[in-house]
Structure 1
């Protein structure tokens, strides 16, 4: 799920295709795949992707949000677009690392109440996002036409993310800890498959191999600490499959968010929906479905539903560091609030990157934060003074991940681009 300086993210205006410059596209609901009406699927990249969806020398207008590669010399727009995406990607990596580190720190005072922290964040973010949305609406950044976008797609996002949470928690309760982040790397594979099926996107061979290397690198880096306990060999396939299904739900939600920007731009005659439209309504529906699943989710955490109110009261007292044994909650409320603030910043940054590029690019960028986070957490930190030594397999995994990112982002040659145009 996705603050002050993020109230005005960069605007990326773009002209719609000629056949969408009248008002007809705004009035007719569009099916998920056919609605896109995209031109022949293009290959996507990270550093050379343009934010406005076009390249010099191409006379064909593109649907907003579809990203293409431009390696034409002298294309200043492509350079500017690539620079903007690179800056957004760098910010996303920084926020992702800080988010993961602060989550670990937040669990120091909240070690007995992780379920409270998760639910407080889920429902608290709805209030934060809608408050920001209201401010942006009053400032004229968000229009009534944006607010009138079909809510079914946001409901689908919320449902998919809630199902991802539920299936992830169910499988996590049955799997050995080191296997969970490894199995979660199927998220990127699901994104590739679903972006092809839903968005009709095509990927070059180097991009597919790059994504596979990224996945392998993360698995090597994370699994380097798995030697001391049980791993997947002692389990049947059911619970690993449920964890991979959880990643599939989350991946589908990210692809639908990308679709929202593409379809919304067509309905809004080329103006992309504000990211807080997607954040607010997506988070709102997610909170609704999580609320409906609370009896199931609490039982997964070993909390009988009848005892949930008392557990939440104790969690709130620990979060605020009032009453009870204050020594057990040392570090609250500062650490949990810092985590929630950075988590909001990360989710906003990641969604803004989806808006500027693609969901797969945003996922690759966030994946880079995994080995960086492990490295930071290996250092002595406040509240976590014990450091750890990094294994050789971690170094190899991190290098493999970076190699995969470089391979994915190899620019397309000018000759290939001219031939495609």
Structure 2
């Protein structure tokens, strides 16, 4: 581990921090159902970056699947109805574009991680570096850069830098129910703890699934998570607000996106399996 350059982990942390900061800023404004759709542009960015930096080559089926994903995102992005609108008339497509840009930073971090694993195999004489080591170093730098990016994030949300300490203080007071704060802060500890618990459970489940089954099963679960997460935002759940009815164009775009993900993940594997069969 000591032989691996640590500056790569710093770059990973910076990219993930940028992706998280911009993504959270956009998620606070965008409709909940649109977030998992826009986040799927991660695949498009990942393909572009891997072609440029890792010199990877993709099959026509994978490119076609990526095209379906892009088409689905565009269809969903331009869909509107009386109760559902991804972008406001005043801000246009600013926040959807911010969400898409945040996916590019996350994709860039994943490409560097892949490069780290490849390079580690050469530096460590065919020994692989543990995935938890890479995630731990990356997460450590990510936490540092998130704190450093708070002034930039506050400017994006229209908060002057001089008022940022007050916002941090009020946020901490709301989180821990200290002082006289708004009634909405009553459940802040529960919501924050629930988010952390669900995030940990998701990451552990994903790693356990990948370890115990195969990449095909993991890809299938990831694909199925998109419509399920969109459907959850249409239910009358606590703290979600009034569920919006999704316009037909959004549903059509989401369907195309899911088909693109499935086509990208499974078409090549199926064709290779058929070629290998007697």
TM over 0.5, yes or no? yes
Q: CA deviation at 1:366?
A: 4.3
Could you give the per-residue CA deviations for residues 293-350 of structure 1, whole angstroms, max 9, x where no partner exists? 3322223223333332332222112112343236222323112111022223434556
Structure of greater Rg = 1
Q: CA deviation at 1:183?
A: 5.7
2:51 paired residue number: 196
2:190 paired residue number: 334
CA distance in 1, matches of 2:222, 2:19: 18
Could you give the per-residue CA deviations for residues 119-177 of structure 1, whole angstroms, max 9, x where no partner exists? xxxxxxxxxxxxxxxxxxxxxxxxxxx3552212101112222343566678x59xx84
**1:34-113 equivalences in 2 (<5 Å):** none
Please, which of 199, 202, 206 is the counterpart of residue 61 of structure 2?
A: 206
Q: CA deviation at 1:413?
A: 3.5
Q: Is the 8 A contact 1:275 1:348 kept in 2?
A: no
Pairing 1:272–2:128 present: yes
CA distance in 2, matches of 1:333, 1:343: 15
Q: Once structures 1 and 2 are overlaid, which stretch shifts more, 154-163 or 394-403? A: 394-403
> Which consecutive unaligned segments of at least 5 residues does structure 1 have?
1-145
Q: Once structures 1 and 2 are overlaid, which stretch shifts more, 278-287 or 362-371? A: 362-371
Please, which of 251, 272, 278 is the counterpart of residue 413 of structure 1?
A: 272
Pairing 1:397–2:243 present: no
**1:126-137 equivalences in 2 (<5 Å):** none
Q: CA deviation at 1:397?
A: 3.2
Sort the Cα spacing of 1:196 and 1:280 in 2 relative to 1 into closer, same or farther, 3 A.
same
What secondary structure does 2:191 align onto?
A: helix
Q: CA deviation at 1:378?
A: 1.0
**Equivalences, count:** 268
What secondary structure does 1:330 align onto?
A: helix
Q: Is the 8 A contact 1:166 1:297 kept in 2?
A: yes
Q: CA deviation at 1:247?
A: 3.1
**1:18-29 equivalences in 2 (<5 Å):** none
1:150 paired residue number: 5
Could you give the per-residue CA deviations for residues 360-381 of structure 1, whole angstroms, max 9, x where no partner exists? x988964643332121121122
Q: CA deviation at 1:213?
A: 1.7
Q: CA deviation at 1:267?
A: 2.8
Sort the Cα spacing of 1:209 and 1:351 in 2 relative to 1 into closer, same or farther, 3 A.
farther
Q: CA deviation at 1:204?
A: 1.3
CA distance in 2, matches of 1:232, 1:326: 27
CA distance in 2, matches of 1:166, 1:413: 40
Q: Once structures 1 and 2 are overlaid, which stretch shifts more, 155-164 or 263-272? A: 263-272
Sort the Cα spacing of 1:366 and 1:320 in 2 relative to 1 into closer, same or farther, 3 A.
farther
| Higher-helix-fraction structure | 2
**1:5-404 equivalences in 2 (<5 Å):** 146=1, 148-165=3-20, 172=26, 177=30, 181=35, 184-221=39-76, 224-225=79-80, 229=85, 231=87, 244-325=100-181, 327-347=183-203, 366=222, 368-384=224-240, 386-404=242-260
Q: Is the 8 A contact 1:162 1:289 kept in 2?
A: yes
Q: TM-score, normalised by structure 1?
A: 0.52
What secondary structure does 1:332 align onto?
A: helix
Q: CA deviation at 1:271?
A: 3.6
Q: TM-score, normalised by structure 2?
A: 0.74
Q: Is the 8 A contact 1:168 1:243 kept in 2?
A: yes
Sort the Cα spacing of 1:184 and 1:233 in 2 relative to 1 into closer, same or farther, 3 A.
farther
Aligned CA RMSD, in angstroms, stands at 4.0
